[in-house]
Amino acid sequence: MTTKTKTQKLLTALNNGTEVTVAQAISRYGFENASAVSSVVRNLRTEGYSIYTNTNANGVVRYRIGKPTRAIVAAGYSVLGGSAFA
């Protein structure tokens, strides 16, 4: 039996359509603090996952997987050129 890492558990939840708050990531998936959660999200973004951050009026941060906008795709293409989509 393989044990999922914290990152894998978070990514699975996000890919299943769950919006995850920092507090939920800490309590459900075992992250140590908010900084650890944001670090993992940053790393997942560099791996190509389109993770969006939504902050409500009370300052609660929620992460979710979304579709990149045309502007984001265009920005990636302008920086990386055609190799970005090869």
pLDDT at 75 (0 to 100) = 85
Is residue 80 one of the residues assigned to a domain?
yes
Q: At what angle do helices 22-29 and 34-46 cross, to 10 degrees?
A: 100
CATH code of the domain covering residue 40? 1.10.10.10
Is residue 1 one of the residues assigned to a domain?
no
Which residue range is the domain that position 10 belongs to? 6-85
pLDDT at 84 (0 to 100) = 67
- When divided into structural domains, the chain yields a total of 1
Are 51 and 65 in contact by the 8 Å Cβ rule? The answer is yes
DSSP 57: T
Is residue 52 one of the residues assigned to a domain?
yes
- Starting at the earlier edge strand, list the strands of the sheet with 51-55: 20-21, 61-65, 51-55
Alpha helices in 17-86 (DSSP H): 22-29, 34-46, 70-80
Are 25 and 31 in contact by the 8 Å Cβ rule? The answer is yes
Q: Chain-wide mean pLDDT for the chain?
A: 91
Cα 82 from Cα 36, distance rounded (Å): 33
Is residue 10 one of the residues assigned to a domain?
yes
Q: What is the pLDDT along the chain (86 residues), one digit of tens a residue?
A: 667 999 999 999 999 999 999 999 999 999 999 999 999 999 999 898 999 999 999 999 999 999 988 988 888 888 888 776 66
